[in-house]
Amino acid sequence: MKKSTLAMLCLLMIIISTVSCLAGCKSREQRLNEETEYEETQMKAVREKVIRCIKKDDKEGLKKLFSKRAQKDIEDLDGKIDEMLEAFKGKTIVSTKGESADSSRAYDYGKETITIYGDYTIKFSAGEKCTLFISFCDKNEESPDDKGVFQMELRMFSKEETPKDFSGGAYQDDHGIFIYTLQNYPKK
């Protein structure tokens, strides 16, 4: 009798463990969907803050979006923010459409780093378009000073107008504000 009770108890524990494990586990696809949704939400929030600062000509607000490290590393950040805001002077932004949001995740001994990259087509009331690339670190458990925007690249021309010999501008992880016009773009 003791053996059968013990066997039943063990079997019951195995069944309960299996059911709770299966119920608690998410599929890889579910986790990826949640991560993608999270990253798109974060990128949209950053994009809206950047556009709001540009529309309001808010130099300090734009500067605060940059990570502490980027604020230290970017030479003449105030001057570059002034240049960016100057590029938008006299133009009325009517829409900002996101083309993509890519991310990069790193795991180091249980510590997570999330870097998100997005590019947007900005349309002006006069029908002109430009492209704005924003790169920001959403999470860095090892270096909290890295959290925030670290790069903006503004191309004052649309993707359709991009010259064939355009080399692609800044490297993905460079800190800085990079502004290109059809007259000063980097050539291959």
160 or 30, which is more confident? 160
pLDDT value of position 162: 87
80 or 172, which is more confident? 80
Instruction: State mean pLDDT over 42-53.
Output: 91
Number of domains comprising the chain: 1
| DSSP symbol at 7 | H
For residue 10, tell me if it sits in a domain.
no
Residue 22 above 60 pLDDT?
no
Mean model confidence pLDDT for the chain:
82
For residue 187, tell me if it sits in a domain.
no
Within the chain, residue ranges assigned H as helices are 2-24, 28-56, 59-65, 68-73, 77-88
Kindly indicate the confidence band of residue 4, based on its pLDDT and cuts at 50, 70 and 90: confident
Angle, vertex CA 46, rays to CA 130 and CA 94, nearest 5: 40
Domain containing residue 135: 28-180
For residue 20, tell me if it sits in a domain.
no
Nearest to 62 by CA among 74, 71, 54: 54
For residue 121, tell me if it sits in a domain.
yes
**CATH code assigned at 116:** 3.10.450.50
| DSSP symbol at 92 | -
Residue 23 above 60 pLDDT?
no
For residue 113, tell me if it sits in a domain.
yes
For residue 5, tell me if it sits in a domain.
no
Host H or E run for residue 182: none
Residue 152 above 90 pLDDT?
yes
pLDDT value of position 25: 60
Residue 21 above 70 pLDDT?
no
For residue 18, tell me if it sits in a domain.
no
pLDDT value of position 56: 94
The strand pairing partners of 85, in sequence order, are none
**91-144 confidence digits (pLDDT tens):** 999 988 876 556 666 665 566 778 888 888 999 998 999 999 998 888 777 787
Cα gap 152→136, rounded to integer Å: 9
Instruction: State mean pLDDT over 62-66.
Output: 95
For residue 1, tell me if it sits in a domain.
no
